[in-house]
A and B are shown apart, each in its own frame.
Chain A
Amino acid sequence: MASSPNTSTLPTPRKKDESFFDKVGGTLGRRKSKKEALELQEEGKNAIDSPSSPTKADVGPEGYLLEENEERSMIDPMSRDDPKLKELIKLLLEWINDVLADDRIIVKDIEEDLFDGQILQKLIEKLANIKVEVPEVSQSELGQKQKLRVILEVINRILNLPRLGTWNQQKWSVDSVHSKNLVAILHLLVQLVRHFRAPIRLPENVRVFLVVVQKRDGMLQPRRVPEDITGTNEDVGGKFERDAFDTLFDHAPDKLNLVKKTLVTFVNKQLMKVNLEVQDIQSQFHDGVYLVILMGLLEEYFVPLHSFHLTPTEFDQKVHNVGFAFELMQDAGLPKPKSRPEDVVNLDLKCTLRVLYNIFTKYKDATVA
């Protein structure tokens, strides 16, 4: 329950001069004073309906007085300065801005800009190519939360996760996102990145520490609990169906060399014509150049040198090349490669072999002179 919905966040660094309670209490208090009695009632109902939030995070300062054995958690301020975490946040922001570039939306702060569901709605609409029917903009907290609930339910359904609010749905909730809980928001975004196979490579093993405070015998007892945000990228592969290459890697590493050798022979037979030669599959295909040339040789066309980077140096250029080669493969009637261009560029041997094997299967018998 380390990141349970009643988790609160510390103020972001730029607001360090404000005290935590000042901030939460202040803004919420102001909002509350404006509320109609009816709304209050509604909110009460809503709170009861949310099974996983015994106490709401935003009930005001008095909510933070703990009962015996109750606990609260917040992110350890030290964790925020972790370079890996900063990198992760930066990457996620860039990714969101990339996805939403067409909508002219720019997200600057991962906590401050996502909590009301507006951006999340655009994001999931774009990623899944769907339309989520929710009111446009809502100023009231209640409206925002209702909207957020709809959106998160859609996201959970797409991600094949349990329904929102059930006991095993722990990583994010309406309340945790709405209260700008960094950990919950990160979990949510990382899952989206993984699910939609976003073209970014997340730093591995990003971990934050949470300070969990529990009241025992009338005393507040703090303790530090680690929370994994990304794990390793290898886990991601496990989600997709296993193929012959997984089996090969796991059970017959000795045969791997044979496969490599066959592929190298096949590839060189083609590349020889333009005075190129491959020795190492893993490293010599990663920039996509040979893949593009290989397709041209096999399908009998020339690829004008302006449509790819003949001597790529940047990561982006290599990704472009591999992506372009993938397009050419699909044009030639090959199935859409299971690997992502980024995997090939990142020297993932298994992915590179899959791509080459795919080509090999189609052309091995062709008597291309």
Chain B
Amino acid sequence: MPVYLDHAATTPMLPEAIDAYARALAEVGNPSSIHSAGQHARRVLEEAREQVAASLGCDPIEVVFTSGGTEAINLALKGTFWARPGHRVVAPEGEHHATLDTIEWLVAHEGAEAARVPLDADGFVRTDAWAEALSTGDVAVATALWANNEVGTIEPVDALAAAAREAGVPLHLDAVAAYGHLPIDFRSLGVAALSVSAHKIGGPVGIGALVLSRTAPVVPLVHGGGQQRGVRSGTQDVAAASAFAVAASVAVRELAERNARLAALRDRLIAGVRAAVPAARLSGPEGDDRLSMNAHFTFPGAQGDSLLFLLDAAGVAVSTGSACQAGIPEPSHVVLAMGRSEEEARGALRITLGHTSTEADVDAFLAALPSAYERAAAAGLSNRETVLGR
């Protein structure tokens, strides 16, 4: 059986979410229709919205279902930028591409100016620089990851949110990686918006949510029938929402227990990697400041994609953690932002755990790692200077 250790990319759907999905798919009814079939669909949809809202500590009206995390982030950033005065967009350097590329687009096409806030060596946002970037008086919107999707660093969101409040800047939190692993209470955070995605917590791909405070003005990206506060038009996906809701309820209910179990597995994995390959270097912090499901290493002299290939051949699925263009791994901008060299960044490997992970999975990875590293390091050397053909 192949060992799946890439839960940050996507995690298996929970059986109960699949059941809810299939049940809802079997029923007809557009939740915007007025007849009883529509009313029934509407009821299933709104119950789902309530459950998702409960998992996020917000009101149901604040939950805007989207096609996923990327759309939620686009809506939060573009929508807020367009609705507000100011032209600066503040974001830390290690954000997901959904954020970075959206800002890049706003800069190229909408006259925005990007303010990048540096990270420290463990991937934490530099809070002094954050506060300074927010203080210029012309900031339209600020955004930050709650937890880094690549290296697992949990950011000091209370401090980031307090600084934004003080500066009077609407803050969006990208909680896609944090969701299901950290308790989220939107009300007490006092931020303008927050993005999550269902498939990272055992729900289906194709649905996510933007939690949008009542007082946060946004210009919609999608126009049409005026569904969801007029912010996100389009027929609402009842089946996906109800499967999302089931996954969200389970994620919150089992959060503490699962975190304890995964943190123990993660620490076993980290200790095992250090024992097997002493040269490997953990990226990001240890202990409670790190997502319980995340381990991320750089392997000197080896390329992440060689390691990935060799581990895949040995039946273990992991990730280089960084974005791909046509399947080519770029050196991770997150690892670079943490002050590592490009060469180090190319040797990055992300191993992420989830609800199906077991000790046997971790041990299978640790068993396959030493020979994979040895070979990848040999290939890494040949990659710099070839001998053949000279």
**Chain A complexes with chain B:** no
Please list the residues of chain A having a beta carbon within 8 angstroms of any beta carbon in chain B: none
Please list the residues of chain B having a beta carbon within 8 angstroms of any beta carbon in chain A: none
